[in-house]
């Protein structure tokens, strides 16, 4: 029983990080019906912004509460600006073009970021993995029995930050004028524009918000795994996309549930089978869900006129 509880804790901690990234996919798809495959790489850029900020602060300052807040703030604001630039100069000119054109562009931006950051010139970090600074010193906050169940401080902090960000997003989407406008644009952006809603501004703010969430998730992931590299966004982004599809792409609560389920499935595979099976089982779980529910757990299959 203690082993099961430990795996549940670990799986939920991983699932909350996937959830923050999956929410970005869901928000952009809900507004534009576009799969932003560059989303994971925006997360990677945020991690490197946090990495640079932490080293600029120094060992003592980066471990203080205000130091951690500053690291998150710089990364999230920087990625919000990056998301705005990507939407403005890459996606907006293609908005009335066939969706395949925007999809190919998203893949191109993804490769440009992930492989561009492998260049070892100027401010670019190079291809070698780097150890993320220990901004949160690991410590055991809760122990059951003879270390049968251990809850680490970074797990609690990560879970609380992720839940707070998801709650803030839920409030923003369903309790504010911006959220109402965003839902109107997701229903039909042309009709929303005729009703006086500034669709360009709403879409740009959606990209900025999703990119900021990705940066926050990337920092939580880096604090957990400590090793960062330019290709980390491809791996985490793909897993988060799987989570969003499992929950029902375009559905905010579905993205969270799908991410938590994926985190638990991966943890149970690692704990009770073999770590080498983790990715295979995760994608197998996706296939199984789509066979039973083609639109995802919370999604609906609707006929679409092309």
In a domain, 298, yes or no: no
pLDDT band at 279 (very low <50, low <70, confident <90, very high): confident
Domain of 25, CATH number, reads 1.10.3470
In a domain, 151, yes or no: yes
Q: What pLDDT is attached to residue 195?
A: 87
Tokens of 157: 């902090």
In a domain, 66, yes or no: yes
pLDDT band at 303 (very low <50, low <70, confident <90, very high): low
Residue 144 parent element (H or E)? strand 140-144
In a domain, 270, yes or no: yes
pLDDT band at 86 (very low <50, low <70, confident <90, very high): very high
Give residue 283's domain range: 2-292
In a domain, 303, yes or no: no
In a domain, 306, yes or no: no
Q: Taking a C-beta distance cutoff of 8 angstroms, is the pair 132, 66 a contact?
A: no
pLDDT, mean of residues 290-306: 73
In a domain, 301, yes or no: no
> 140 - beta bridge partners?
152
Q: What pLDDT is attached to residue 147?
A: 67
Tokens of 253: 């609560």
What tens digit of pLDDT does each residue of 66-85 get? Answer: 999 999 999 999 999 999 99
pLDDT band at 306 (very low <50, low <70, confident <90, very high): very low
In a domain, 49, yes or no: yes
Dist. CA 252–CA 31, nearest whole Å: 12
Q: Number of folded domains in the chain? A: 1
């Amino acid at each position: 029983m203690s082993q099961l509880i430990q795996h549940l804790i670990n799986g939920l901690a991983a699932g909350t990080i996937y959830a923050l990234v999956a929410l970005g996919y869901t928000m952009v798809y809900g507004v534009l019906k576009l799969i932003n495959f560059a989303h994971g790489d925006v997360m990677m850029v945020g991690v490197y912004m946090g990495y640079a900020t932490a080293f600029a602060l120094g060992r003592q300052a980066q471990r203080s509460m205000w130091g951690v807040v500053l690291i998150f703030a710089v990364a999230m604001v920087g990625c919000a600006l990056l998301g705005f630039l990507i939407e403005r100069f890459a996606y907006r000119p293609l908005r009335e073009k066939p969706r395949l054109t925007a999809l190919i562009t998203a893949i191109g931006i993804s490769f440009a970021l992930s492989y561009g950051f492998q260049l070892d010139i100027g401010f670019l970090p190079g291809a070698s993995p780097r150890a993320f600074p220990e901004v949160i010193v690991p410590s055991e906050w809760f122990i059951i029995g003879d270390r049968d169940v251990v809850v680490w401080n970074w797990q609690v902090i990560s879970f609380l930050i992720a839940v707070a960000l998801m709650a803030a997003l839920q409030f923003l989407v369903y309790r504010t004028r911006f959220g109402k406008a965003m839902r109107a644009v997701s229903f039909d952006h042309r009709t929303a524009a005729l009703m006086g809603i500034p669709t360009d501004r709403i879409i740009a703010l959606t990209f900025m918000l999703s990119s900021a969430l990705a940066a926050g998730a990337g920092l939580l992931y880096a604090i957990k795994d400590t090793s960062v590299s330019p290709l980390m966004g491809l791996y985490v982004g793909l897993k988060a996309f799987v989570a969003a599809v499992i929950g029902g792409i375009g559905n905010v609560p579905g993205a969270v549930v799908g991410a938590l389920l994926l985190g638990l499935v991966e943890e149970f595979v690692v704990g009770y089978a073999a770590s080498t099976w983790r990715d295979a089982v995760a994608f197998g779980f996706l296939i199984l869900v789509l066979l039973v529910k083609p639109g995802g757990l919370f999604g609906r299959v609707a006929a679409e006129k092309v």
